[in-house]
Amino acid sequence: MLRRSARAQSSAQFSARLSDAAAPDFRHRYCHYSLNDTTLVSSGFVDFCAARQIALINASPISMGLLCCGRDPPDWHPATAATKALCKEAAAYCDSKGVDLAKIALHFTLRESRVATTLISSTSVARMRANLDACTGQTLSAAEEAAMGHVRDAIFAPKGTQSWEGVELAAYWETVGKLLMTQRLYAKK
């Protein structure tokens, strides 16, 4: 019941319902602490978990491929067209400055000290090497720091959080849910 509830609700809704008696040992959240979406922190979820001694595992600091230079996200990506467009704008800006958007996105995420664990995946060996470099003490250059600040402050911040929380669930109910309701309403008895 706890896991089903967590998937169907936003972090804030889930936090409000979670009782101390049923608290899990850890919570896994993906794509909610990255350059385009900081709701893991801004929603108070990090503090909520810390107060209850719940370990927090963050995943996908590059937002399932949205924050990569030089390629489009996969077709199955649930982000809205507006979010994808902003991420492309960020990638184009970084390209114009000779900066790797994925690298600065990973550094941004890893700087949040209240999130002790971040899961990182990769689509290539070269990308994984770059990810490992970021995790093992590689620092950003002044140009990369400036690009990170610009991407956060001038591209993402004015448009607000770019999350797709609930998009997948809504798509499910739009397709499968209607079919199930029709079958239940008009099934032969």
CA distances to 53, 75, 85, 161 from 19, in Å: 13, 38, 39, 28
Give me the mean pLDDT over the 66-70 stretch: 79
Give me the mean pLDDT over the 176-182 stretch: 75
- pLDDT band of residue 134 (cuts 50, 70, 90) is confident
Q: Taking 70 as the threshold, does the pLDDT of residue 99 lie above it?
A: yes
pLDDT at 153: 95
Helices 125-135 and 101-110 sit at what angle, rounded to 10 degrees?
A: 40
> Domain-by-domain residue ranges, the chain?
2-186
pTM listed for this prediction: 0.73
Percent of the chain residues past pLDDT 70, beyond the cut = 77
